[in-house]
Structure 1
Amino acid sequence: MGLFRSVQAVTGASGTGPVDWTAVAEAAKASTEPGSIALSTEEQEGYADDVREARGRIREVAAIDFDVPESIEIQNRHHWIDANIDTFQRVMAPLGDQVGLIPGLARMVNTGTMSIALAFLGNNVLGQYDPLLLAESDAHSLYFVHPNIGKVATMLDVPEPRFRRWIAFHEVSHAAEFGAAPWLADQLEADLQRAVDALGEGSLDREALGSLDTTMTAVEGYAELVMDRAFDGEYADLRRKLDERRQGRGPVSQLVRRLLGLGMKRRQYERGKQFFETVADERGVEGASAVWERPENLPSDAELDDPRAWLDRVR
Structure 2
Amino acid sequence: MTLFESAQAVAGASGDGAIDWAAVAEAAKAATKPGAVDVSEAEAEAYAADVRDARTRLREVSGMTFDVPNTIEIQNRHHWLDANVETFERAFDPLDERTEVLPGVASSLNTATTAGALAFVSRHVLGQYDPLLLADGEHGLYFVHPNIRRVADDLDIAFPRFRRWIAFHEVTHAAEFGAAPWLSDYLEARLEDGIAALGEGELQTDAFRELNVAMTSVEGFAELLMDEAFDGEYDDLRRKLDARRKGGSPLTKLLKRALGFQLKREQYERGREFFDVVAGDRGIAGAAHVWDDPENLPTDEELDGPELWLARHQDA
Normalising by structure 1, report the TM-score. Answer: 0.92
> Who is 2:73 aligned against?
73
For each residue in 1:166-195, what CA deviation from the matched residue of structure 2 results, as whole angstroms up to 9, or x when unmatched? 011110000001100111111111211211
- Does the residue aligned with 1:54 lie in a helix, a strand or coil? helix
Hey, what's the Cα distance between the residues in 1 that align with 2:257 and 2:120?
12
- Does the residue aligned with 1:96 lie in a helix, a strand or coil? helix
Hey, what's the Cα distance between the residues in 2 that align with 1:200 and 1:107?
13
Mean CA deviation greater in 98-107 or 183-192: 98-107
Unaligned runs of 5+ in 1: 1-16
Hey, what's the Cα distance between the residues in 2 that align with 1:32 and 1:87?
20
> Who is 1:107 aligned against?
107
> Who is 1:147 aligned against?
146
Aligned residue-pair number: 298
For each residue in 1:198-228, what CA deviation from the matched residue of structure 2 results, as whole angstroms up to 9, or x when unmatched? 2212212222121111111111111111111
- Does the residue aligned with 1:232 lie in a helix, a strand or coil? coil
- Does the residue aligned with 2:66 lie in a helix, a strand or coil? coil
Structure 1 segment 123-134 matched on structure 2, within 5 A: 123-134=123-134
Structure 1 segment 159-308 matched on structure 2, within 5 A: 159-308=158-307
Q: Is the 8 A contact 2:97 2:199 kept in 1?
A: no
> Residue 195 of structure 1 aligns to which amino acid in structure 2?
G
1:99 Cα deviation after fit: 5.1
Q: Which has the higher contact order (CA 8 A, sep 6+)?
A: 2
For each residue in 1:45-94, what CA deviation from the matched residue of structure 2 results, as whole angstroms up to 9, or x when unmatched? 11011000000100110101001111110000000011111221121011
Hey, what's the Cα distance between the residues in 2 that align with 1:239 and 1:146?
20
> Who is 1:6 aligned against?
none
What CA RMSD, in Å, does the superposition of the two structures yield over aligned residues? 1.2
Q: Is the 8 A contact 1:183 1:295 kept in 2?
A: yes
> Residue 83 of structure 1 aligns to which amino acid in structure 2?
A
Hey, what's the Cα distance between the residues in 2 that align with 1:242 and 1:290?
28
Unaligned runs of 5+ in 2: 1-16
> Who is 1:86 aligned against?
86
1:30 Cα deviation after fit: 1.0
Pair 1:151–1:99, CA change in 2 (3 A) = farther
1:158 Cα deviation after fit: 0.6
> Residue 60 of structure 1 aligns to which amino acid in structure 2?
E
Normalising by structure 2, report the TM-score. Answer: 0.91
Hey, what's the Cα distance between the residues in 2 that align with 1:281 and 1:163?
28
> Residue 239 of structure 2 aligns to which amino acid in structure 1?
R
Q: Is the 8 A contact 2:247 2:253 kept in 1?
A: no
Q: Is the 8 A contact 2:90 2:134 kept in 1?
A: yes
> Who is 1:11 aligned against?
none
